[in-house]
């Protein structure tokens, strides 16, 4: 399965000089946010495959103008050709924007997904706007990563974690791809194409049930 990921910055290469040949074998488009609704609609029209997205902190505009023909996977486990994709958009809270969350608020969203995660034995791809804490995030509040994303990675060991928000041109240390244990982390800034390959880790909800419930009990703010 070939995936096109996009985020944060409209690519001139795609937008102004669209080359159908280049994208003819793409199976799925994933947007990690902060992109104009028009751009996403353009992609789904030109590429003719499902386009799924989460919101960036600059996407409050989607409420008035949702990207036509595209599908939000916010707070959902979306399954595409057997690949389980978990969507959690938004950034760390720094003003009154709708797509901004405190660590506690993001954790509450994660906890609401736990039944689905148990039912489907985890997930294969985590899609967020903001990075996880310390894994390609920034030092200022708006770019701070979420700790509960680290917990998702550590517990479920998905094959991929795709995020945006921290632009690759912010500084030279930003990397497109990093490996975190079993998970390949992709910063989707502008665009990136990859062939999905499962990491062969099989999360077993029955085996892990005890550990997960114990970890939830450790949090007293839910």
Contact residues for Zn ion, defined by CB under 5 A: 34, 56-57, 165
- CA-CA distances (angstroms) from residue 1 to 20, 35, 69? 18, 24, 21
Give ∠ CA 71-162-136 in degrees, rounded to 5.
140
3-class secondary structure, 65: coil
Rank residues 34 and 137 by Cβ distance to Zn ion and give the closer one.
34
Residue 145 beta carbon to Zn ion: minimum distance, rounded to whole angstroms: 12
The smaller minimum CB distance to Zn ion, of residues 31 and 184, is found at: 31
In the complex, least distance from residue 58 CB atom to Zn ion, rounded to whole angstroms: 6
CB of 103 to Zn ion, least distance (A): 17
Nearest distance, CB of residue 54 and Zn ion, angstroms: 11
Nearer to Zn ion, 8 or 124 (CB): 8
Q: How far are the Cα atoms of 78, 92, 157 from residue 122, in angstroms, in the given order?
A: 12, 24, 9
Q: Do 40 and 55 form a contact (C-beta atoms < 8 A)?
A: no
- CA 25 from centre of chain: 22
Question: Smaller CB distance to Zn ion: residue 56 or 122?
Answer: 56
Residue closer to Zn ion by CB (options 93, 165) is 165
Q: How far is the CB of 42 from Zn ion (least distance, A)?
A: 20
Minimum CB separation of residue 220 from Zn ion in Å reads 30
Helix (H, G, I), strand (E, B) or coil at 101: strand
Element (H, E) at 44: helix 37-47
Minimal CB distance residue for Zn ion: 165
Q: How many CB atoms lie within 10 A of CB 130?
A: 32
Phi, psi (deg, nearest 5) at residue 202: -110, 105
Q: Record the tokens describing residue 81, joined without a space.
A: 């050709």
> Between residues 170 and 222, which has the closer beta carbon with respect to Zn ion?
170
């Amino acid at each position: 399965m070939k995936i096109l990921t996009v985020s944060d910055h409209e690519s001139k290469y795609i937008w102004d000089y669209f080359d159908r040949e280049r994208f003819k074998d793409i199976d799925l488009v994933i947007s990690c946010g902060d992109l104009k609704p028009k751009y996403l609609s353009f992609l789904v029209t030109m590429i003719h495959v499902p386009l799924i997205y989460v919101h960036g902190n600059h996407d409050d505009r989607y409420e008035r103008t949702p990207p036509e023909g595209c599908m939000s996977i916010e707070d959902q486990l979306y399954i595409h050709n057997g690949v389980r994709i978990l969507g959690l958009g938004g950034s760390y809270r720094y003003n009154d924007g709708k797509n901004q969350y405190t660590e506690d608020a993001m954790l509450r969203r994660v906890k609401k997904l736990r039944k689905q995660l148990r039912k489907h034995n985890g997930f294969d791809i985590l899609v967020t706007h903001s990075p996880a804490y310390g894994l390609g995030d920034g030092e200022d509040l708006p770019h701070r990563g979420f700790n509960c994303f680290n917990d998702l990675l550590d517990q479920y060991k998905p094959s991929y974690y795709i995020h945006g928000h921290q632009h690759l041109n912010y500084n030279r240390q930003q990397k497109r791809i990093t490996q975190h244990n079993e998970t390949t982390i992709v910063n989707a800034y502008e665009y990136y194409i990859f062939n999905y390959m499962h990491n062969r880790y099989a999360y077993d909800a029955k085996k892990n049930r005890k550990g997960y419930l114990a970890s939830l009990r450790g949090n007293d703010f839910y």
